Structure 1
Amino acid sequence: MENDTITLPGGGRVLSLPQRPVVADAQHPLRVTELSGMTGIELECIEGRDFRRLGAELTRGEPWYQPTRLMGWPYNRPSGVWAPQVRVTYSHGYAEVPDDVMDIVLALAVMNLSNPENLREQAIDDYRRVWASETIGGGATLSDSQKADLRPYRRAAFTVAPS
């Protein structure tokens, strides 16, 4: 998706963008604006000057550095912390769906459409039809191998800070 605009809660050093992968280049600029709340002041933030980006995480300055714009703005806020709200306009997602993801989606669609009523077998007089066990059970669900194939595309639900 191109130029998706969202408002995220700030107040910390790291701001995680919810959709991945982030696409940031000349045709797809990353625009970050800190919203100061009741005053209505909006501050445009620039990558490299006001924050650093690593993947989908935008990080304010480290609290042990000399105070700079990277430490937070305006200066009366705690150092190295985003404003209470941050508006981000960015592009994300794949230009084309990866082949392995498309294969899994199509396999689930075939499974669901080949036996939409989840029948094991159907018999009418001398006619009998039997479905494979893979097509039975609560609609199409991911197998363990499909889950493993999709794991690289998932983002972490949480992170553990090193001690």
Structure 2
Amino acid sequence: MALTRSTHFGIARKIVSNMTAESWEQIPHAGLVYEPEVTAFLAECKKLNEGCTDKSKKITINTVMIKVICEGLKAAPKMNAHLEFNRKLVRGCLHEFDHVDVSMPALLPNGEMMTLNMHDMGNKTLTEMTEAINDSLRRAKNTDLNEVMFEVSLDNTLQGLK
């Protein structure tokens, strides 16, 4: 994932960011749940798999949703960014990227959940996305995840100590 642009906050954005962070800490929040009517959407998703007998090649609703998210991020590139803000220093920067990477939850064969980081999904077709997801799941299935988690934990600890 290559960085395409970094924009440092000007004074106006610093003020708004600082006030937003303060409000987030001090003011009670309310949530909203919206349940859209997706019958037609699901019917279109079902059509994608008509005539497909190979279960590994079927396009899942998760894959379609990832495609929808990727297309949305490509249409609004400022949303495909990392926001960095240090409230104590009142400094911030928006880092925009050229690739759309997606993290998705996956259920492993042993029943545990794992987050898969799927790289450059914005340039893939639905079929390519399905193949990439299946390949990641296959690799996770054939990996000693306890050893991987130990290595990640050790690396995070060492980075924190630096």
TM-score (norm 2): 0.23
Structure with max Cα Rg: 1
TM-score (norm 1): 0.22
Task: Flag the structure with higher strand content.
Answer: 1
Task: Flag the structure with higher helix content.
Answer: 2
